[in-house]
Amino acid sequence: MPPAWGELNKLISAGGKIPARSVEAIEVIDAWHQETKDLSLILSRQTETLVLEKLSRKHQSDPGLRKRDELQQLRETNQLCAVLDVRDACAPLEISADLSRRTVDVGMTLRAPEDKKSSKARVNWLIRQITSENLENIFVRLQWPGRSESTQFALANLRETPEICETDKGGLQVLGFHIYSASRLGARFTQQVNFISDLEQVVPQFYRDIGQNLTAWRKAAPKIRPEKIMKEDVDIDAIEDEAEDMAQE
């Protein structure tokens, strides 16, 4: 990262706000873009598959707009963010560097299995996929329906007592999971070389320990029930009416 990285961190630590035309912030964003490219190359080499940064169409076609949007995000949240697409992985890698917390978060978001009724069973489905014993700083954020707020637990606690996921959520079914590592770097976060070194360690580590073992849930293919097997005397008009009713639902 450029010398501006240290200056920007000092500003945030002092409670300051990044100016709209901050030269330091632009330099940092440019360096962040280079680093996310480097992370893609590192993961590509380690996984022996294609890893690319995931960008919206508008940002792909207009780099200037991307930079302006990311500057606005940095000013509002004090975060630098990136999403990496690992070919054949269950979900993209979501990365954020938080200047306020001096933390690097790396995670993936999965849809909860709809064929399991209770939230505890859905959480167990996720936990069974995680074979790593090193669960330090690994958390799961649970997404709930409607306006119900998300909840968050240490993965180690969920593994030991999965039913805690249902605390204050009686009658609700969890819809999704964001599983992530939160690496607090402290003073190293503000240092140009150490920040990059730590970032290039924690991102592949999360993918190796957690991400590469995760599988996305998919709805099973529909099956024909025995009583629905067609016979010569089946009423075709009735089938057409039934199909139209299903299409309108």
pLDDT tens digits, one per residue of 161-212: 999 999 988 889 999 999 999 999 999 999 999 999 999 999 999 999 999 9
Say yes or no to pLDDT of 232 above 60. no
pLDDT at 136 (0 to 100): 87
| Residue 72 to residue 74: CA distance in whole angstroms | 5
| pLDDT greater at residue 226 or residue 137 | 137
Say yes or no to pLDDT of 231 above 60. no
**Residue 210 near residue 138, CB atoms below 8 Å:** yes
| Residue 110 to residue 142: CA distance in whole angstroms | 10
| Residue 85 to residue 155: CA distance in whole angstroms | 24
pLDDT band at 226 (very low <50, low <70, confident <90, very high): confident
**Residue 191 near residue 1, CB atoms below 8 Å:** no
**Residue 200 near residue 95, CB atoms below 8 Å:** no
Give percent above pLDDT 70 in the chain.
Answer: 91
Tens-digit pLDDT profile for residues 57-98 = 999 999 999 999 999 999 999 999 999 999 999 999 999 999
Residue for token pair 């993936």: 108
> What residue type is assigned to position 223 of the chain?
K
pLDDT band at 124 (very low <50, low <70, confident <90, very high): very high
pLDDT at 247 (0 to 100): 66
Tell me the average pLDDT across 153-160.
95
Q: Where are the alpha helices (DSSP H) in 78-136?
A: 119-127
pLDDT at 171 (0 to 100): 85
Q: Are strands 176-184 and 151-154 parallel, antiparallel or unpaired?
A: unpaired
Cα radius of gyration rounded to whole Å, the chain: 23
Task: Report the DSSP beta bridge partners of residue 178.
Answer: 109, 141
Residue 51, SS3? strand
Residue 115, SS3? coil
Please state the φ and ψ torsions of residue 235, each to the nearest 5 degrees.
-85, 105
Say yes or no to pLDDT of 134 above 70. yes
Task: Name the maximum alpha-carbon separation found in the chain.
Answer: 81
pLDDT at 202 (0 to 100): 97
For all residues of the chain together, what is the average pLDDT?
91
pLDDT band at 223 (very low <50, low <70, confident <90, very high): confident
> Residue 5 has which token pair?
């990285």
| Residue 108 to residue 158: CA distance in whole angstroms | 17
Measure the N-to-C terminal CA separation of the chain; round to a whole number of Å: 54
Name the least confident of 18-22, 125-129, 167-171.
Answer: 167-171
pLDDT at 224 (0 to 100): 81
